[in-house]
């Protein structure tokens, strides 16, 4: 069983190499255009690599992107195993990561709150102290 540090290094390397494959269009699937890898985790036994992905368009493309990745998973695993030397390469599991959409939603809420606070009070409106 590898140490946590080694498992993290393997996960980082998978993320780096898979991102490079997507950027250089080595995976010829139009469903995978405009996606990015948000995180990769590897379990303690190195049996599975959980790969979290997102797209610029958001969750509307999630099923399409995950289907494309599942379709290309054999090719991706073979290419990654040729680049990363491990005795047994982990099986790839793809998951949709909604974190970018959630962060964007929170950012919009904060901007709205900031706009509301910066507006001057209306004439004739009484400010009530908070209780």
CATH assignment of the domain containing 28: 3.30.300.20
Residue 38 lies in a domain: yes
Residue 3 has pLDDT above 90, yes or no: no
Residue 48 lies in a domain: yes
Residue 33 lies in a domain: yes
The per-residue pLDDT for range 65-105, each reduced to its tens digit, is 999 999 999 999 999 999 999 999 999 999 999 887 778 88
Residue 74 lies in a domain: yes
Number of domains in the chain: 1
Q: What mean pLDDT comes out for the span 36-42?
A: 95
Residue 69 lies in a domain: yes
Residue 53 lies in a domain: yes
- Candidates 106, 88, 82, 80; CA nearest to 43 is 88
Residue 128 lies in a domain: no
- Which pLDDT does position 102 carry in this prediction? 79
CA torsion 104-64-23-91 (nearest 10°) is: 110
Residue 131 lies in a domain: no
pTM of the model: 0.77
Over the chain, what is the mean pLDDT? 88
Question: Range of 102's domain?
Answer: 4-118
């Amino acid at each position: 069983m590898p140490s946590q540090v080694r498992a993290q290094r393997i996960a980082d390397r998978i993320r780096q190499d898979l991102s490079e494959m997507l950027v250089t269009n080595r995976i010829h699937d139009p469903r995978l255009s405009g996606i990015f890898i948000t995180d990769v985790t590897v379990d303690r036994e190195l049996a599975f690599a959980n790969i979290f992905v997102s797209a610029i368009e958001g969750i509307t493309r999630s099923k399409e992107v995950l289907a494309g990745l599942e379709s290309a998973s054999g090719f991706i695993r073979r290419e990654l195993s040729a680049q990363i030397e491990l005795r047994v390469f982990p099986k790839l599991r793809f998951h949709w990561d909604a974190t970018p959409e959630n962060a964007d939603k929170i950012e919009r809420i904060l901007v709205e709150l900031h706009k509301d606070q910066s507006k001057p009070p209306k004439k004739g409106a009484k400010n009530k102290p908070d209780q």
